[in-house]
Amino acid sequence: MPSVLVVGAQWGDEGKGKIVDIYAGRADAVVRFQGGNNAGHTLVVGGEKIVLHLIPSGILHGAAVCCIGNGVVVDPEVLLAEIQGLRDRGRWPSDDCLLVSESAHVILPCHRALDQAREARAGDRKIGTTGRGIGPCYEDKAARRGIRVGDLLHPGTLAAQVASLLDEKNALLRHLGAEPFDPAEITDGLLAAGERLRPYVADVAGRVHAWLAAGRNVLFEGAQGTLLDLDHGTYPFVTSSNTVAGAACPGVGVAPSDLEAVVGITKAYVTRVGEGPFPTELHDDTGRRLAERGAEFGATTGRPRRCGWLDLVALRTACRVNGCTGLAVTKLDVLQGLPEIRVATAYRLDGATVDRVPARAEDLARCEPVYETLPGWDEDISAVRDLADLPAAARGFLDRVAGATGCPVVLASVGPGREETIEVAAPFGRRRSGPRQDG
């Protein structure tokens, strides 16, 4: 099985970083296909905590080539700082371990400024973006006036592109009460960043095609979560890209038939950062307990996360939209010590029973969860490595998740560490690769 895609099956922060890190150890290449540095993966490797926003977490293994696909939006300053940060900590494997698509769009300072100015003006209608310019960058991509990574290597044409973009952006910024930008200054900054990024700029699609043709293990890494998908999430409280598994096709340039396994990542409960409806949200001591035990503070923004019971309606919808072939359930340890555990199996809306997430955020906000109560467990499960050694209640919980979604649980995570993992089924077959330079 040479290709596996990992996707968040909730509202993000599902612990994708840890799962990608585990699978990346067996992959020849790890490829991101959407989002930008609004993603934030926290990894704990050998007791050291490392947060990555843009570079795929596979970088910490050194053996896999990490790729930033064309569907990602790249803030050059953030990418360069992340490379330098890894170098400073002695965690940078080598320059040939990172490839950045020449077709990926570039986040400019005006995108960040616009993002922040709009959120500040929106008051209680704000989306709760990270303010990093991701949305405005995707807007320019769709408007066909964006600047791409490959453009940073062409001084002859970049200045005109920047001037034309800023002509409109500066007018908008002034209108929103923000400072305009100087085109020459921006161009110089981009050209300097381009020179530093030059060693990594590549035809990522071509490289991925070659790896797949050679039967190499390729891991596609999703960012954010399914319920934040631009089309299938709780619009407008969503991110500005498609986060679902299928987005890997345009976001890298592969075919649907290239995606052989799709692993959906879900926490054993639900969290949500930012605004938007959340039917199973808890405002009581149980919610606070989940937040504390689960250390639920955003890796990117530090914002406290809203917590609630596992929503099987949303998870079932996510499995369907992504075509999940397996589920990885994270943070099972966080449920320890709860006398009982609830899971939402349906919603009630206007007197009717609903078994999938309604399209309108307003309708989802009015949904009342229908709960099923499962027994809890008291035992510390963080040292368990085999499914059979879990307390019966914890196994019963996983069985309920699989039963409700029709998706087998292929992995359960019982702590933040790499080794605190129960692997039920391996995502990749036997490693078929030779030396990666041949790709």
Question: Rounded CA gap, 14 and 30, in Å?
Answer: 18
Q: How far is the CB of 224 from ligand GDP (least distance, A)?
A: 8
DSSP 376: -
110 or 329, CB closer to ligand GDP? 329
Closest to ligand GDP by CB, 3 vs 413, is 413
Q: How far is the CB of 423 from ligand GDP (least distance, A)?
A: 13
Q: How far is the CB of 384 from ligand GDP (least distance, A)?
A: 11
Q: Taking the complex as a whole, how short is the minimal distance between the CB of residue 428 and ligand GDP, in angstroms? A: 20
Sign of CA dihedral 206, 208, 209, 210: positive
What DSSP element (H or E) covers 286? Answer: helix 285-293
CB distance 137 to 149 below 8 Å? no
The SS3 assignment for 180 reads coil
Toward ligand GDP, which CB reaches closer, 258 or 420? 420
The binding site for ligand GDP (CB under 6 A) comprises 8, 13-18, 40-42, 44, 295, 299, 330-331, 333-334, 413-416
| CA–CA gap between residue 331 and residue 204 (Å, rounded) | 33
Contact (CB, 8 A) for 160 and 187: no
User: How many angstroms from the chain centroid is the CA of residue 205?
Assistant: 20
Cβ(58)–Cβ(52) below 8 Å: no
Choice between 183 and 264, CB closer to ligand GDP: 264
SS (H, E, C) 289-320: HHHHHCCCECCCCCCECEEECEEHHHHHHHHH
Active site residues: 13, 41
When the beta carbons of 16 and 61 are compared against ligand GDP, the nearer one is: 16
Q: How far is the CB of 358 from ligand GDP (least distance, A)?
A: 25
- Tell me how crowded residue 46 is: count the other CB atoms within 10 A of its CB: 7
